[in-house]
Amino acid sequence: MTTTGTKFLTYDLLKKTNEYAIQQGLNRSLHFDNLPIAKAEVYPVLFAFPHNDIEMRCELMFNRHGDKGWLDMTLTAYNKLPTFTD
């Protein structure tokens, strides 16, 4: 039996990953100070796909109201994301 799961980011991990995306000039980053988020929450990756040979493009859910955004990250960073397992 295979276990599947949903990758997610904590507030601090989201902030760090977004700062890296901005510093590296990745195509998708977030206006972090304008996000409808809270420090005590986690942000699941709803959808992800390879954007190129070294990056994943990820759609994130920010809150229960359905606010979403896109963030690019390296494959290494994506693979290291924590996972909720079934």
The pTM of this model reads: 0.90
Please list, residue by residue across 37-57, b when 16 or more beta carbons sit within 10 angstroms of its beta carbon and e when fewer do.
beeebebbbeebeebeeebbb
Sign of CA dihedral 57, 63, 64, 65: negative
Q: What are phi and psi of 80, to 5 degrees?
A: -90, -5
Question: 7-32 pLDDT, tens per residue?
Answer: 999 999 999 999 999 999 999 999 99
Residue ranges covered by each domain of the chain: 5-85
What is the average pLDDT across 50-61? Answer: 95
